[in-house]
Structure 1
Amino acid sequence: MALLLVCAPLSVASAQDTGSITGQGVLDTVVAAQGKVVVIDFFASWCKPCLMEIPEFIEARKHYPADKVVFIGISLDQDPGQYARFVKQTPFNFPVYLADPDVINTFGVKMIPKTIIYDPTGQQALNHAGFMPGEMLRQVLDKLLGGEAK
């Protein structure tokens, strides 16, 4: 079975569509990850800066161990079919959720992409609206982890 997963196309083996999530569900995920840095990426399949940013987050996920950093993607797509197609064709290596309507208000999302990062104590360390280059993401994570994640 493991060999089958290794040989399967990357987009199928790595797609992490986990259904929809509420604002409270996101907050519960942050609380459950206490002791780890949590990166939340708000995006949509039709957003060009989001499409430029997602590969940077996928690459960062490869660099940081799962026991130190949790990545969560939250799509603000309004068409579930478009969202499902996008997730299926994108090689996500972290869980991706379709946002319930309350997520926008819960996290004050006024533009996308938007990245919110929580430190290991569960405190918000960064709330960044707009494209986040991979180098900036790595600098923030390295600072929060104190250089222990390499």
Structure 2
Amino acid sequence: MRRFFIFCVIISFILSSSVTLKAKEIKIVKSGDVISMIATARSQLVLVSFWASWCPPCRMEIPGLIKLRTVYDQAELSILGVSLDESPAMYLNFINKVNFNYPVFLGRGDVVRVFEVSGLPKLIIYNQNGQKLYVHEGYISFDELNRKIGELLQ
């Protein structure tokens, strides 16, 4: 009986530790956090992508954003992903499957209201002074977005 009790305590500890480790991977942001990241970015442009793991057009767009990160260096373009998943488990499952090469966060609080997200995916591009230069709702192809960023960088 004592061995069984010790075994249960060890298994409980292992399970609670793994849950804690996974929870640390979830980076939650509110609107003020996103605004701060835009304001402190040292890039010519800051692209903020609002998405959700359950959104098929979002999942289609993400590979293009990953490719953009390889086309433009950090001095030219910062990319921030903000998931609007309601389920942290769905968000975590998705980010563990996709090889993001830019920071992604789980949006909470007033993110939807402040950034006026009425549909997904939604992209907003800001200049280095925090001025909104471009807004796109719905899927945008890599080629179209790459062309737009090229125009904005000129």
Q: State the TM-score bracket (shorter-chain normalisation).
A: 0.7 to 0.9
Q: 1:132 aligns with which of 110, 120, 140?
A: 140
1:84 — aligned with what?
Answer: 92
| Aligned mates of 1:122, 1:65 — CA distance in 2 | 19
Distance 1:91 1:35, change over 3 A: closer
Deviation track 1:25-70 (CA, whole Å, cap 9, x = no partner) reads 1111111015520001100000000010000000011100011110
Per-residue CA shift, 1:76-120, capped at 9, x if unaligned?
Answer: 000001100100100100000000131000100000000000123
The alpha-carbon deviation at position 145 of structure 1 amounts to 1.2
What is aligned with 1:49? Answer: 57
Count of residues paired in the alignment: 130
Higher relative CO (CA 8 A, sep ≥ 6), structure 1 or 2?
1
Find the partner of 1:24 among 20, 29, 32: 32
Q: Distance in 2 between matches of 1:88 and 1:53?
A: 17
**Which portions of structure 1, spanning 4 or more consecutive aligned residues, are displaced by more than 3 angstroms?**
none
Cα distance in structure 1, aligned partners of 2:135 and 2:33: 19
Q: 1: distance between equivalents of 2:48 and 2:32?
A: 14
* C-alpha distance in 1 between matches for 2:58 and 2:75: 26
8 Å CA contact 1:114–1:128 kept in 2: the answer is yes
- Give the alignment's TM-score, normalised by structure 2: 0.81
The match for 2:113 among 105, 117, 123 is 105
- Residue 14 of structure 1 is matched in structure 2 by none
Between the aligned partners of 1:35 and 1:90, the Cα distance in structure 2 is 24
Q: Distance in 2 between matches of 1:129 and 1:93?
A: 22
CA distance, structure 2, for counterparts of residue 139 and residue 120 of structure 1: 19
Aligned AA (1:108): E
> Which residues of structure 2 form unaligned runs of 5+?
1-24
Give the number of the structure whose alpha-carbon radius of gyration is greater: 2
Which protein has the bigger helix share?
Answer: 2
The answer on 1:93 being equivalent to 2:101 is: yes
SS in 1 for 2:100: coil
TM-score normalised by structure 1 residue count: 0.83
Q: What is the identity percentage for the equivalent residue pairs of Structure 1 and Structure 2?
A: 35
